[in-house]
Amino acid sequence: FNDVTIKALGPSYGIGVLLTNQADYNYIMDCYIWVNPASTSSNFAGIVSSTKTSTTSSGDHGNYNWFKDNTIFGGYYGVRLNGISSSTGCVRNMVEGNTIDHYYYYGVYMNYQSDCNVAYNEIVDRAATTSSYGIYLNYNRQGPVVQGNKVVAGYYGIYANRCNQDSTGRGIIVNNMISMRRTSSTVYPLRVYYSHMFDVWHNSLLTQSSGTNYGLRLYNSTSNPNMHHDVRNNIVVNTGTGTFY
């Protein structure tokens, strides 16, 4: 698809682009995708790989897909891509150069992916939302790349959860600019949780909460180590009155 306008404005369910049943090698470029901008239900998404009846179902829904230079407005999710399982990801899906605006909860949600790329997107949540995630990687494998994104979010800017644990290559979280909208309660502009082997370089992070502000947080436990990261040259600024770590 190239240069197509897609509107999904139904009151109870709306998906702009659905990929399912091994939808491989698709290119969605320069499209305008408008999903109900008042939606607060997970039934609404700009682009999703899942089943026809749910936005959250795991499976081999699509590989080697490229979503580039689209404008996505509204929805609970801007983009949500689901893979097969926590041990088997869908492969080489790329979300690049998109403008994702007015989403309710997740800007880009990469679930069970392998060798994925989320780069050079502008991701801005709905102004009334204080609990949103900009980019969420969940069980992403084999060197995920998160690079050059501009993110405005409420709760988490970039969150990598249990990623790259079995990879021989390094993951990348580089040159992202993250601004946290929430002015009270806890915020995490960049959190790497139970993950392995990420280069975390040259990111700029802004917090402004009267609650607890975590700048760049790497979290682990004895049973779930968070290890072998290279963290350098990041800028973290807090203008809030709360606690700052």
User: What is the C-alpha to C-alpha distance for residues 93 and 95, in angstroms, rounded to an integer?
Assistant: 7
The tens digit of pLDDT for each residue in 222-234 reads: 777 788 899 999 9
Mean pLDDT, the chain, whole residue set: 95
The tens digit of pLDDT for each residue in 152-192 reads: 999 999 999 999 888 778 999 999 999 999 999 999 999 99
Q: Check pLDDT > 80 for residue 135.
A: yes
Of the candidates 2, 30, 28, 9, the one whose C-alpha atom is nearest the C-alpha of residue 17 is 28
SS3 call for 108: strand
The tens digit of pLDDT for each residue in 3-19 reads: 999 999 999 999 999 99
Token readout for 48 is 């999703």
User: What distances in angstroms separate CA 156 from CA 3, 86, 187, one per listed residue?
Assistant: 31, 21, 6
SS3 call for 134: strand
The tens digit of pLDDT for each residue in 20-31 reads: 999 999 999 999
